[in-house]
Amino acid sequence: MKSEYIYLDHMLQRCEKIRKITGSVKKEAFFLDEDKLDLVVHSLEIIGEATTHISGEFKKEHDEIPWQEIKDFRNVMSHQYFRIDPEVVWTVATTDVEDLSAFLLRILNKDKM
């Protein structure tokens, strides 16, 4: 169980990195900046990979997080990279990452008490 918190913390760190990148640029500029797009995609891949190290029991206890969707999105980005749509990446990075970050903070802070 304790090692799962290491992966949750990695996920949270990557959420923060994504928020920093997307918060510093407008959507149109993001699409034109391959480096920023690549960094966000890589961070999303890391988040997705981290979910594979979380136990099924823990996932059931925290079913507010769409674990399978995160993993599936990671698989598309990793194995079907030619299908990556920058618009989808932007939406995930600016909306879903915010929600995920809030859930992770709640879990990590709650379990510290």
Long-range contact list for 73-77, CB < 8 A, 24+ apart?
73/44, 73/48, 74/44, 74/45, 74/47, 74/48, 74/49, 75/48, 77/41, 77/44, 77/45, 77/48
pTM, full prediction = 0.90
- Residues 4-48 pLDDT 10s: 899 999 999 999 999 999 999 999 999 999 999 999 999 999 999
| Residue-range domain boundaries for the chain | 2-112
Listed range (2-6, 7-11, 50-54, 101-105) with the worst mean pLDDT: 2-6
